[in-house]
A and B are shown apart, each in its own frame.
Chain A
Amino acid sequence: MAKAGHWLEPHPHGLYVRPADLWIDPSRPVERAAVTHGHADHARSGHGAVFATPETLAIMALRYGVDVEASHNQAFPYGGGFERGGVRFSFHAAGHVLGSAQILMEYAGERIVITGDYKRRPDPTCAPFEVVPCDIFITEATFGLPVFRHPPTGDEIAKLIAALRAEPDRSVLVGAYALGKAQRVMAELRAARWDAPIYIHGALEKMCELYAAHGVDLGELRLVSETDKAEMAGQVVIAPPSALGDRWSRRLPDPVTAMASGWMRVRQRARQRMVELPLVISDHADWDELTTTIAEVNPQESWITHGSEEGLLRWCELTQRKARALHLVGRDLEEEA
């Protein structure tokens, strides 16, 4: 009998599905790519044909100029899929960002799920993670160490609102990744009844419009570049992390620097980023979510990729689960976690 999952080959630059002659999330241009979600470490430009959810394709069109209308690119809603070379592919919600999907592959009686990036806690901007039974579960491990336990998102949002109210003369500048995190922080603020306009960096504008067009209500957004400094006192401003220490931030009234990321759990990491208000808000599964998910999916084998593979491997060893680490390259988009 052939080795389990022999038809799926891990290469440093992606997973290759041999019978279908197709790559999953390749980090360099290929003829055919199935893409889990729109982040740059998974979605790249220059592929021949792209298979993804409609939202992910729309994001790729916006970010990398992928032609959504071209007939070789195909969009599949959650639950939908296609067959190629005897392999049945289908897309299932991953709960990571808008349009993010796990990809289930069925071939020769074997089921393999690749999660892409995922999380389990509720997110008002995207569909919740679906547990898909399988033989081989290929999981991310960004926060694959037991020190990473994300607190309830509501607590972190409450911290942000408390900081806004504590110093009404200052704005709070939240560094948040432009795709996913920024919109999630906005939606969570709305859920906590923060009804004031949210001020944004120009780099977020188009992606927020895309989210709104997909039915995610972000409330009133205003561009910092079109606003008087004084108006932003006591208000929340959202910008990509790279803008935090940038000259751009001089437009803001004495901003408190905040950052929304799972890495903020570790104090020295937060200090390193010169963050005054760390917000532990992540779009990735924390340690408990990762381990619970493996237990729930209960696969024959887990393949672990990008992140702290060693930690999760050790957990599998302790719980007597078969596991191996894949070593894919270019999967270290720290800003986005």
Chain B
Amino acid sequence: MKRFAALIDRLVYTRSRNTKLALIADYLQHTPDPDRGWAIAALTESLDFPAVKSAMVRTLLATRVDEELFRLSRHFVGDTAETAALLWPDAPGPKDDLSVAAAVDALASASRSDAPAVVASLLDRLDADGRYALLKLALGGMRVGVSARLAKQAFAQAFDVPVDDVEELWHAIPPPYAPLFAWGEGRAERPDLKHVAFFRPFMLAHPLEEESVDLADYAAEWKWDGIRVQIVHGGGETRIYSRGGEEISGAFPELVAAFDQDAVIDGELLVRGEAQGGQAASFNALQQRLGRKTVSKKMLADYPAFVRVYDLLGLDGNDLRGLPWTERRRQLEAFVPRLADSHFDLSQLIEAKDWDDLAERRAGARDAAIEGVMLKRRDAPYVAGRRAGLWYKWKRDPLTADCVMMYAQRGNGRRASFYSDYTFGCWNDAGELLPVGKAYSGFTDEELKWLDKFVRDHTLGRFGPVREVEKSLVLEVAFDSIHASKRHKSGLAMRFPRIARIRRDKPAEEADRIATLLAMVS
């Protein structure tokens, strides 16, 4: 636990993404199994110990520390795990080095009735930093800025393996990931995933710069304004993954039930709206269904979800990703009729004669759920990530950028109690976030409530009226134009920025880069 506690401590105080990667990679290289696997699972919030919750920790603490002193301390520190770690009296005698694995075993096998005794005996074996690490591991809410994506990259860096392979394997192997480490260290073959519903990293698109490609080489397709999902059937189960590789099957049980084919599809998850005559509704409607672990009957009825299928990655046990788009498309068109049309339909191609024709159709698209046009190279295989020249997205006006919320400030008047003014940033080449603008409009009252709660729950620091937040929330910002500015560190200033939508589905690392914004400067 000492090494893990030291790692957490360093991560807490490190803001640079590259330093975080180096710290985690070093830890993974120099820590034995299964400790490192459990540690990385804890960092990415992949562990859950149902018997150990913060209310239980508070009750336990009351057996050792005066409740009033705990309350005053908790108020000052602002975090239950940290308060408890600091307040728990040091047990006399030398501390043995409790392993992460031993702690995980003890926590996992604890029942509700013996959990307090189990946690107490673990705490007694640790110093304050160790207690902090243990309680964060047990309760979650690590807040060290380590996403699953970052952890996978650190793994790839530590063992010099392709990050795309790590992405695939990660979700197929449960913590503490022993086969993954064995493969990473070259001690074993790549684990066989034939019978597992594993995640395939998404193929992504670059923004299109005006007519920079030959249209004849590309197929055009609408870019729908939902969330990108991958549905995988394998090993007897069906799983739905979001873009970041998070499993979201629990939020969309009707889709899981309706997908009864041995296949892997890539598509856009949308909901049907009454105003749209049962067709795809705007992203706002879809948001009602996002971020839920379970879903009520009413939700299912009010916001029926369906998937508009873009691509076919696997069929009847075969991996189709190596095939050119044309061939995958042919198989996809034959495949989609095998699915229930209530929940799945085929994304239609746009037959445009030339750029002018395409531009006209793009401008004329009135559908609320259309975000723009996708261009996909006809001879390209399905490859992970964003590769030059293969896929382009050509969004509708206005300009938009995906930014990460950095700071929030309370508003005035009616909004005096809400954190309603947001400063957001984009990534520079060094992997740092630089502020690119500030917006305080564009969201509904419901969204404002949600944003305000997000700010309060993810505050890292306070500077007078301003709060610094955890850099994890992507905001799609719309703006009329963008200009060079000497006043801002990023060198950019947006004109009329507003929050177009909240991208809870998008990992912060995938927010736009400063370079992308610079290309939009008018």
CB within 8 Å of B: which residues of A?
Answer: 145-149, 265-268, 270-278, 308, 310-311, 314-315, 318
User: In the docked arrangement, what's the CA distance between A238 and B361, Å?
Assistant: 64
Decide yes or no: A268 and B73 within 8 Å by CB, A314-B68, A318-B66 being known contacts. no
In the complex, the answer to whether A277 meets B13 with C-beta atoms within 8 Å is yes
B79 contact from A148, A268, A318, Cβ within 8 A: A268
A272 neighbours in B (Cβ, 8 Å): 460-463, 468
A267 neighbours in B (Cβ, 8 Å): 12, 79, 82, 132
Contact with A along B43-69 (1 / 0, CB 8 A): 000000000000000000000011011
B463 neighbours in A (Cβ, 8 Å): 272
Which of B13, B77, B468 has its CB near the most chain A CB atoms (within 10 A)? B13
Task: List 3 tightest A-B contacts by C-beta distance, closest first.
Answer: A272-B461, A147-B86, A147-B73
User: In the docked arrangement, what's the CA distance between A275 and B15, Å?
Assistant: 10
In the complex, the answer to whether A145 meets B73 with C-beta atoms within 8 Å is yes
In the complex, the answer to whether B72 meets A311 with C-beta atoms within 8 Å is yes
In the complex, the answer to whether B79 meets A147 with C-beta atoms within 8 Å is no
Quick check: is B14 within 8 A (CB to CB) of the other chain? yes
In the complex, the answer to whether B460 meets A311 with C-beta atoms within 8 Å is no
B132 neighbours in A (Cβ, 8 Å): 267
Closest B residue to A272 by beta carbon equals B461
Quick check: is B278 within 8 A (CB to CB) of the other chain? no
User: In the docked arrangement, what's the CA distance between A268 and B74, Å?
Assistant: 12
A276 contact from B14, B86, B460, B468, Cβ within 8 A: B14
In the complex, the answer to whether B13 meets A147 with C-beta atoms within 8 Å is no
With A146-B87, A268-B82 given, can you name 12 additional A-B contacts, CB distance below 8 Å?
A147-B73, A147-B76, A147-B77, A265-B86, A268-B77, A272-B462, A276-B14, A310-B72, A311-B69, A311-B73, A314-B69, A315-B69
Minimum Cβ distance to chain B for residue A271 (Å): 6
In the complex, the answer to whether A268 meets B72 with C-beta atoms within 8 Å is no
A275 neighbours in B (Cβ, 8 Å): 13
B15 neighbours in A (Cβ, 8 Å): 274, 276
In the complex, the answer to whether B87 meets A147 with C-beta atoms within 8 Å is yes
In the complex, the answer to whether A268 meets B460 with C-beta atoms within 8 Å is yes
A146 neighbours in B (Cβ, 8 Å): 65, 69, 73, 86-87
B78 neighbours in A (Cβ, 8 Å): 268
User: In the docked arrangement, what's the CA distance between A274 and B15, Å?
Assistant: 9
Decide yes or no: A145 and B82 within 8 Å by CB, A268-B461, A271-B13, A275-B13 being known contacts. no
- Contacts A/B (CB < 8 Å), 25 sampled: A145-B69, A145-B73, A147-B76, A147-B77, A147-B87, A149-B86, A149-B128, A265-B86, A266-B76, A267-B79, A267-B82, A268-B82, A268-B461, A270-B12, A270-B13, A272-B468, A273-B461, A274-B15, A274-B461, A276-B15, A278-B13, A308-B72, A314-B66, A314-B68, A315-B69
Minimum Cβ distance to chain A for residue B433 (Å): 14
A271 contact from B12, B73, B83, Cβ within 8 A: B12
CB within 8 Å of A: which residues of B?
Answer: 12-15, 65-66, 68-69, 72-73, 76-79, 82-83, 86-87, 128, 132, 460-463, 468
Q: Is the interface of B mostly helix, strand, loop or mixed?
A: helix
B468 neighbours in A (Cβ, 8 Å): 272
Closest A residue to B65 by beta carbon equals A146
In the complex, the answer to whether A308 meets B76 with C-beta atoms within 8 Å is yes
User: In the docked arrangement, what's the CA distance between A213 and B77, Å?
Assistant: 40
Minimum Cβ distance to chain A for residue B214 (Å): 47
B66 neighbours in A (Cβ, 8 Å): 314, 318
In the complex, the answer to whether A271 meets B82 with C-beta atoms within 8 Å is no
B14 neighbours in A (Cβ, 8 Å): 276
User: In the docked arrangement, what's the CA distance between A314 and B461, Å?
Assistant: 29
Minimum Cβ distance to chain B for residue A75 (Å): 39
Minimum Cβ distance to chain A for residue B128 (Å): 8
A271 neighbours in B (Cβ, 8 Å): 12-13, 460-461
User: In the docked arrangement, what's the CA distance between A157 and B333, Å?
Assistant: 68
Closest A residue to B74 by beta carbon equals A147
B68 neighbours in A (Cβ, 8 Å): 314
Closest B residue to A266 by beta carbon equals B77
Minimum Cβ distance to chain B for residue A89 (Å): 35
User: In the docked arrangement, what's the CA distance between A268 and B458, Å?
Assistant: 11
Closest A residue to B459 by beta carbon equals A268
Minimum Cβ distance to chain A for residue B508 (Å): 17
User: In the docked arrangement, what's the CA distance between A147 and B77, Å?
Assistant: 8
In the complex, the answer to whether A276 meets B13 with C-beta atoms within 8 Å is yes
User: In the docked arrangement, what's the CA distance between A271 and B87, Å?
Assistant: 20
Minimum Cβ distance to chain A for residue B448 (Å): 25
User: In the docked arrangement, what's the CA distance between A147 and B128, Å?
Assistant: 10
Closest B residue to A275 by beta carbon equals B13
A268 neighbours in B (Cβ, 8 Å): 77-79, 82, 460-461
User: In the docked arrangement, what's the CA distance between A314 and B73, Å?
Assistant: 12
User: In the docked arrangement, what's the CA distance between A273 and B15, Å?
Assistant: 12
User: In the docked arrangement, what's the CA distance between A274 and B461, Å?
Assistant: 9
B82 neighbours in A (Cβ, 8 Å): 266-268
Minimum Cβ distance to chain A for residue B472 (Å): 15
Closest A residue to B12 by beta carbon equals A267
In the complex, the answer to whether A145 meets B460 with C-beta atoms within 8 Å is no
B76 neighbours in A (Cβ, 8 Å): 145, 147, 266, 308
Closest A residue to B128 by beta carbon equals A149
User: In the docked arrangement, what's the CA distance between A308 and B76, Å?
Assistant: 10
Closest A residue to B84 by beta carbon equals A147
Closest B residue to A148 by beta carbon equals B86
Minimum Cβ distance to chain A for residue B228 (Å): 33
In the complex, the answer to whether B72 meets A314 with C-beta atoms within 8 Å is yes
B87 neighbours in A (Cβ, 8 Å): 146-147
Minimum Cβ distance to chain A for residue B395 (Å): 36
B79 neighbours in A (Cβ, 8 Å): 267-268
B460 neighbours in A (Cβ, 8 Å): 268, 271-272
B12 neighbours in A (Cβ, 8 Å): 267, 270-271
B86 neighbours in A (Cβ, 8 Å): 146-149, 265-266
A308 neighbours in B (Cβ, 8 Å): 72, 76
Minimum Cβ distance to chain A for residue B23 (Å): 12
Closest A residue to B90 by beta carbon equals A149
A310 neighbours in B (Cβ, 8 Å): 72
Which of B77, B462, B468 has its CB near the most chain A CB atoms (within 10 A)? B77
User: In the docked arrangement, what's the CA distance between A274 and B16, Å?
Assistant: 12
User: In the docked arrangement, what's the CA distance between A266 and B9, Å?
Assistant: 11
